[in-house]
Every structure is written in structure tokens, then in C-alpha cells.
Amino acid sequence: MKDPNNTRNTAPRRGSPLWIYFVVVILLGVAACATAFSGLSGADLDALAGAPVFWILGCFIIYGELRPIITPGSRENNGATTSTTFSFAALLYAGLPIAAALQVIAVITCGVLRGRGPQRIAFNAAQYTLSLGAAQLVLAVFGVLATPTNPWVPDGGDLPAIALAGAVYFACNHTLVGSAVALHERISLTKALRVDLGYQVLVHLALLGLAPLMVVAMDRSALFVPLIVLPFIAVYLNASVSVRREHQALHDGLTGLPNRKLLIVRTEEALTEVRGAEARGAGRRGPFAAVGRPRRRSEPPHDRAGLFLLDLDRFKEVNDTLGHPTGDRLLQLVAHRLTHSVRPGDLVARLGGDEFAVLLPSVRDEAAAREVAARLRAALSEPVRLDGMSFELEGSVGIALFPDHAPDFELLLQRADVAMYNAKEARTGVEIYSPAKDRNSPARLSMLGDLRRAIDRSELELFYQPKVSLRDGQLVGMEALLRWRHPDKGVLEPEAFLSVAEQTYLMRSITHHVVEAALTQAAAWWREDLTVQVAVNASGRDLLDTGLTETIEEGLLARGLPAAALQLEITERILMNEPAYASDTVSALADLGIPLSLDDFGTGYSSLVRLKRLPVEEIKIDASFVGRLADSTEDAVIVRSIVDLVRTLGLRSVAEGVEDPATAQTLREMGCDAAQGWHFGRPMDADTATDWLRRHMQRAPEPAA
């Protein structure tokens, strides 16, 4: 059963209900011991000293107190103590004085060796003495009054008396401890007694049931007593294996930290504790006390529970540079620093990779949570030296509090994740969850569910917009633009749903759908001798998908298309922000012969060196510059500079967002190669685009107006 002092080893506050209870129980225990010992005679003491069986029992009782049986889900404070079997056997065989004396000696020995407080040792000694005394009273009713000089050996007809005595022993012991727990945690006695009740009943049934067998063995020969211990050894070994397996299932193999499973369990316990504190506080104040009344200074504020999500910044670069073994040692070092930087009682867990979680079962407010997070980041920032290299680590921490931000673990973790990514984007290091910054609003989550179904129902389709040469009006290619024919909201453009998909695994499915649809349409056009290149946009998540190149290659082969039939448009910002991730996929696509286009140029602050190294054939000038050509001299200078730079690099320049003839003429005069926009053609569905292509291909090429 839960120990009444498992959370602290200090004496209860003098005068408190728990302190008064401890004093009463201890005094009753002392009185019971004095009464029992007063009945011992000199002959009894001589028999006790001269019988080896009592010394063997004493050793077993002490060992049972020192080494409780720890099973999965239990701890040292509530593990089953095998001393119960031996002390109850001593009670049956030699009476209360011997059983109480041996048990008290074991409790004192265990308490001293474990450094327990005197109040705990005294309470536990009194608790066992009173429980054994209650069992002795039951045995006395049945006429059983054993002494060391007149031991009692039961037979089959005595089992009812033994069973009743064992039940009274358990009930008394359970009630004494449960009352202490109820006073300590300020919960009802009924609730305290129900904790682990089923487990405790089964354990005591087994332990107390072995006591009569122990007595029979003791009476025949002291040499039989060790044989009774063999089943306990088997139980210890099995329990040890079970605990080890449970530990492996609930802890991370690399760092030894709790994993997600254990984090869920501990978080649920913490949330239950906070809910209970809130309920008790509300009950004490009354149902209307919180309305319109500020908390008095004497009233402690209700604690919250906090969940942190911590992600190491740039860990992959370290892993890629120094290798995975060094990266593993680094994670172990991080785990050590985190566990030594939190408060007692806080839990550090590893969720996977370089992502850690920290549970604060009790935290006063957001300011206190920020203090803990700042301490964690400070511990991480200390220089690290591995393999002869010295470098610094940084981490981003997201904080979510219960009940302020979420009502359960899953939502708490999700919102801590949102806060952590906000901290990364804002480069602040620490962020507390804010609904205003949450991209995963209920409406967006609902759209995510609809989008998942849209893929299965083929509601996603491609529209096509032409890219036209500014010199002679020749068609350069068609850009495939994703649209969602939503059954309720009509046709949605990518801005309305792709930002949701890019944060999930759905982006991979969407990209593969787009590639397949674009290749299918290109094959249909090529069969009609409409040999047009189709361009498809690739997101940052797409470039992390190592299977993208394989999908494209297989799609081209299946349709008999050359690599030039498909073009991938990659935004400049992605390549500038994630060069290490993107380079492998970009290089693989270039090796396959897929033409690459750098989209939204001018918004990513590319360096000329990096731009020269990129395997692209086309640069698209962002529409934000093109649309202001007529009104902004500065934008005109920027566009002209880009056009000149692209020409110098030997690439094709394409202007986006051309809406009128004047802008097209200005771009032509600047030397821009091609353009796209509503002036040349709006995005069209596949059938309309096919008709447009047929008409355009039949006309003689002429300069665009």
C-alpha cells in the first residue's frame, strides 16, 4: 500500500491532524508492546534465545523488510514485504511478544539503513504491532495463546481461526496506513483505502496463507524453514525479470530516460492530482466564493501541471558531420544535463531523435515555468567537447500548462509542440502556447480531415497556366497548379489548404498524386503531338522525401515520356534555408535529367556562389516585384538586375504575375525571356487547357502584345 511518508521524510507539522494521528498510533503501539512483553517469563526468554528457529525467522523478517517484492507498477514504498509471512508465522507459533519484537527490530533496522526519519520508523513499528495485536485477539477468542515455551502448531480444523486472524491483521494494517495517507493527501479515507486494494488483498492472501505452512515446518525442524524460502526466491526472480522488462518498455534504450508511454502515465497522474487539488480548493471556498472575489494572500494558489517540448537546434548537422555514434553520445550528455537541471519530482523523457519532453507535475504559473525552461536552455548552452571538437548546443522549448491550455495529455503535448515551433521560428528559445499563434485551430484540423478524404475521393485536380516566350509568343510550358474541388466550399486554391498539409504526412501523398496526374496529362498531350513541358511545384517536405526521384523516374518510364516532359519548380527560400536536406534530392533529380526551375526568385536572399551551383535551367522572378513594375522604380531596378544576372548565368528568366500588356512590354524591353500571368492565360482545367493548346499550336507564332 502507498506509504504515508513516501513524498517526504520530515515530521508532520506539529499540531496538524496527521501529527496528532501519528502520536496516537505510536502511543497505542507502545502500550500494546508493553502489555505483550509484560507477559513474558524468564523461561520464555530462555526458550527464545536457545531456539535457532527464532533467529532464522528474525533474519527472514529483516530481509523481507529490506527487500520488498517489486512488481510492475509498484515501487519500494508500496511493494509487497515478505516479512508479513514470517511475522505472522511467529505470531501463530510463539505469540504476540515474539512476533512484535522481531517485526519491530526489522522495522528499526530497515529504517536506519535506509535513512528514514524517526517518526516514520516509530509509526511503522506501531502499525505492525497493533495489526499483530488485533490478530492475536482473534486467536485468543479461539483459545490460541502460544508462547515460546508452549508453541502452537495448527491443524486443518484451525484454518478458519487463522483465516479470520489474517483478515483482521490485513484490515487493521490497511486501515492504519490508509488513514495516514488520507490525512497526508487530504482525501477521504474511503478513497485512500481503495487505492491498490485489489492488489493488496491478493498479495496478503498469498503471504498470510504461507504462514501456517511455515509453522508446521518450524515445528518439525528448523532445517525445513529455508525450504519455505525457495518459493519466495522464485517470486523475487520473476518479479525482477518483469520489472526489468517493464523498465525496458517504458524507458529509452539510448539515454535511459522515460519514453512516451511512461510520460503519458506520469502526466495523467499529475493531471489527476491537479484536478483533485482544484476540487478540494473549490470545496473549501464554497460554490460561490470564487466569483468576483480575489484570492486572499493566505490562500495558496492552485498549482498547474506543465509539459515542455524541447528540440535541439541544428542537431542533424552535428550528426551528419561527426557521425551517429558521436550523435548518440551527445544525446546521452543532453539527457544527463536535463535531468540534473529540473526540480525534484519533475520528469525528463525522450520522445525520439533529438526531441525531449519535461513534465512539471506542479508549477505555480507561467513565470515559474519559464524559469525552469530558461534553466534547461542554460544547461544545454554550456560548451560540449567530443572527439576533440568543442561546440555549443541550443534548444527550443515550447510550454503548455494544464488546465490553462489543454484538458488532457494529447492536446497538452500538441500545444507544447506548437509553442516549440513558434520558439524556433521566432528564435526566442522559449515560448508558451498562445491560441493566436496556433496554426492547428479547430477549423484547420477539420480541413485536415477533409483533405485526407479528398485524396481518397480524387477531389484534388490540376489546373494549367501557360508560360509564353516574350520574344515570339511560343509556348514555353504549362505550370500545373493544384486545386481542390471541395464539396461544400467550391474550388479552393493551394493557399487555403497546403499550409495545413505541409505540416503532416499528407504532403507526401499530395505530391505523389500531383506528379502522377501531371505525368498522365503530359502523356495525353504528347500523344496528340502537343509536346509541352509540364511544371510541378515541389515543397520543402517534398525535397526531404528520398522516394520522390524514384516516383518520377517510374512514372516517366511507365508513360514513355522523356525527362524533359516534366519540370520541377523549387522555391528559392527552401534551398536557402535547408541546403543540407535539399541538396541530395535536387542532385538526384538533376542526374535523372529533370529540368529544375527556381521559383519566387528574389525573396530568399541567395548568394551568387550558391545560385551558380544550383542545377537549374530557369529562374522565375517573383510576382511581388513584377506587379509593381509600373509604379516602383526600385522594383524595376530589381527586376532588370535579376534579368541581367540570369542571362549572365546562361539561364532562362520567367516573370510571374504578368497581368497587362504594359508590363509584358516592359519585361520584353528588359530582355526577360518568358512570362506567365492572366495576360497570357488564366489557370485552366485539363479539358480547357487542352483546347487552348490545340488553338495555340495551330496559330503561327507571333510576338505577344
Same domain, 587 and 649: yes
Structure confidence at residue 540 (pLDDT): 67
The verdict on 350 and 392 lying in the same domain is yes
| 458: in domain | yes
Pairing of strands 430-432, 534-538: unpaired
Q: What is the CATH number of the domain that holds 632?
A: 3.20.20.450
Query: Do residues 674 and 550 share a domain?
Result: yes
Q: Residue by residue, what is the 3-state secondary structure of 157-203?
A: HHHHHHHHHHHHHHHHHHHHHHHHHHHHHCCCHHHHHHCCHHHHHHH
431-445 average pLDDT score: 72
Does residue 461 share a domain with residue 404?
A: no
Q: What is the DSSP string of 674-704?
A: EE-STTT---B-HHHHHHHHHHHHHSPP---
> Is 431 found in the same domain as 458?
no
In this structure, are 112 and 167 located in the same domain? Answer: yes
The verdict on 522 and 566 lying in the same domain is yes
Pair (493, 536) in one structural domain: yes
Torsion of Cα atoms, 503 then 506 then 508 then 511, to 10°: -100
In a domain, 452, yes or no: yes
For residue 3, tell me if it sits in a domain: no
Q: Is the pLDDT of residue 455 over 70?
A: yes
Task: Identify the domain boundary among 402, 437, 472.
Answer: 437
| Whether residue 365 is found in the same domain as residue 491 | no
**Higher-scoring residue by pLDDT: 393, 578:** 393
DSSP-derived 3-state class of residue 509? helix
Amino acid sitting at position 396? S
Alpha carbon dihedral 79, 85, 87, 89, in 10-degree steps, equals 170
Split at pLDDT 50, 70, 90, the class of 690 is: very high
- Residue 170 belongs to domain spanning: 17-250
d(C-alpha 150, C-alpha 619), whole Å? 104
User: Looking at 409, 437, 465, which one is the last position of a domain?
Assistant: 437
- The pLDDT value recorded for residue 688 is 94
pLDDT at 319: 65
| Residue 608 counted as domain residue | yes
Does residue 4 sit within a domain?
A: no
Residue 9 included in any domain? no
Residue 359 within a domain: yes
Q: Are 456 and 395 contained in the same domain? A: no
pLDDT at 4: 46
What mean pLDDT do residues 629-645 have?
86
Asked if the structure places residue 7 within a domain, the reply is no
Looking at the chain, the whole-number percentage of residues with pLDDT higher than 90 is 23
For the segment 639-650, what is each residue's pLDDT rounded down to a tens digit?
999 899 889 888
Question: Is the domain of 455 the same as that of 521?
Answer: yes
The mean per-residue pLDDT over the stretch 180-184 comes to: 84
The CATH number of whichever domain residue 423 belongs to comes to: 3.30.70.270
In tens, the pLDDT along 415-431 reads 898 888 888 877 788 99
Helix, strand, coil percent values for the chain (each to nearest 5) = 60, 15, 30
Whether residue 216 is found in the same domain as residue 323: no
Residue ending a domain, among 437, 467, 497, is 437
Q: Report whether pLDDT(594) > 60.
A: yes
| Type of residue numbered 582 | A
- What percentage of the chain carries pLDDT values higher than 70? 80
Domain count, the chain: 3
Pairing of strands 596-601, 566-571: parallel
- For residue 659, give the amino acid letter: E
